[in-house]
Structure 1
Amino acid sequence: MTTGRDKEQRREGQAGAVVILSGGLDSATCLGIACAEGHHVTALSFDYGQRHHRELAAAARLAAHYGVAHHIYELPFFRQLGGSALTDDAISVPTEGVDKAHIPSTYVPGRNLIFLSIATALAEVTRSEWIYIGVNALDYSGYPDCRPEFMDAFANVATVATRAGVEGMHIEVKTPLLHLTKGEIVARGTALLVPYEMTTSCYVGEEEACGVCDSCRLRLAGFAEAGRVDPIRYQLRAKN
């Protein structure tokens, strides 16, 4: 599905950027950064069989707010693969708190690898020079595909595996949040007037965020660190 200003002509000198947009706090901040940096943005979201579609609705709201084209691609095989609490209803969403010593059950095998591959293809088609992804290596849930090593390796692949790279149009993967704490992310987004009230981060996906899943805990801790109050509604505001 495609929405937004797909046929709008890019202004002269305005570089194209694909922003992977989940509808959560980090990806919304990336979208705000990309727009603030003057890029012609195409937002990219995925319906990959995740537990709920509230995040896709949030992504659509954000794309509309910023007035950018928005693509939603369906990847149903993630649910067929399973192996994650986000794509297999038989696996419970953990609520005990983040333990960086262990990869949590919410890790989705191959997700960022596949998302970035599709983003690279879209960047080629739209002749975009940048791909933004909101991965974070500090305050995160221990996912292996959020580490700097993976981002560096994929950036090399994107160069050698594409016609754009061979013909000299370098596609750069930008990770502006990679080395920021959640509090620093919230502070940066707040300064950019990112509408966090439009976002959702909860893994459970009820009308009100659960407040106790790993994603909610990290988000609440980030707002607390930044001295801000999270504008979305929670069933319970857990303290880490």
Structure 2
Amino acid sequence: MKTIVICSGGLDSVSLAHKIAAENELVALVSFDYGQRHKKELDFAALCASRLAVPHHIIDIRTIGAHLTGSALTDDVAVPDGHYAEETMRSTVVPNRNAIMLTIAFGLAAAQQADAVAIAVHGGDHFIYPDCRPGFIDSFNDMQRHALDGYASVKLYAPYVAGSKADIVTDGASHDTPFAETWSCYKGGMRHCGRCGTCVERREAFHLAGVNDPTDYEDPDFWLAATSAYAAQEVN
């Protein structure tokens, strides 16, 4: 199955790219520049494409991203610290981001006669991001079937949609994903901050998977307090 992977350069999408390269036919990676403050992730996507010897398409949608205002990922809004599933993390939502990216990726796949577009959404995304949920994935698949009817047949492949980030770490390790060559931190500094939601989730995932975390964090132990605080909040 000829597959194009949407690759941000993060742990999830790079692991997915390695999975596809091992199990199917990876034909390209596609990344999006939507004006995100953690744009350095695109360098890690390029590194992944080079490592797997496939083309890397970077689609510039900054003019679109400039109108999707209010997110801590694109605007001058503080990126919150804490557990990934806390209510405060809703400030990191970029409205309709996956729908926009997938629509473009499906057009690219149809033009290049690929069979599938793969995306690394997972169960931990469901609470915060509506366009990562199974209902969205199923509906988008159905919509694209109609959109490309008679022209191309492209499927949306989301193998992690019902799993956890720890499952992705386990799967990534099985396909020799170089985790140190991925970027997650929303703050986009020189090192992973260790405090933002995606850093906490990343650190927790390695712990739950029982896999060594090679990430260089500014605050490597903050995740313990963040997960404990979230657990206590859930009990109350």
Equivalent AA in structure 1 for residue 171 of structure 2: R
Question: Partner residue of 2:145?
Answer: 159
> 2:167 aligned with 1:180, yes or no?
no
Q: Equivalent residue for 1:75?
A: 61
Q: Secondary structure at the match of 1:154?
A: helix
Code of the residue aligned with 2:67 in structure 1: it is Q
> Could you tell me which residue of structure 2 aligns to residue 49 of structure 1?
35
1:143 to 122, 129, 134: 129
Equivalenced residues, count: 222
Would the alpha carbon gap of residues 149 and 16 (structure 1) be closer, same or farther in structure 2, given more than 3 Å must change? same
Post-superposition CA distance 1:138-162 (Å, at most 9, x none): 4666211110000000000111001
1:191-210 paired onto structure 2 within 5 Å: 191-210=174-193
CA contact (8 A) 2:10 2:183 kept: yes
Distance 1:38 1:104 in 2: 35
Cα distance in 2 between the residues matched to 1:103 and 1:215: 9
Root-mean-square deviation (CA, aligned residues, Å) is 1.6
Task: Give structure 2 stretches of 5+ with no counterpart.
Answer: 228-236
Greater share of helix: 2
| 1:59 matched to 2:45 | yes
Alignment partner, residue 202 of structure 2: 219
Distance (whole Å) between structure 2 residues aligned to residue 104 and residue 16 of structure 1: 35
TM superposition score normalised by structure 2: 0.89
Shift of 1:193: 0.3
Show structure 1 runs of 5+ residues with no match: 1-14
Aligned to 1:122: 108
- What is residue 133 of structure 1 aligned with on the other side? 119
Q: Which residue of 2 aligns with 1:24?
A: 10
Q: Which residue of 2 aligns with 1:87?
A: 74
Maintained 8 Å contact 1:187/1:226: yes
1:215 partner SS = helix
Segments of 4+ in structure 1 off by > 6 A? Answer: none
Percent identity between matched residues is 38
| Residues 17, 130 of structure 1: 8 Å contact kept | yes
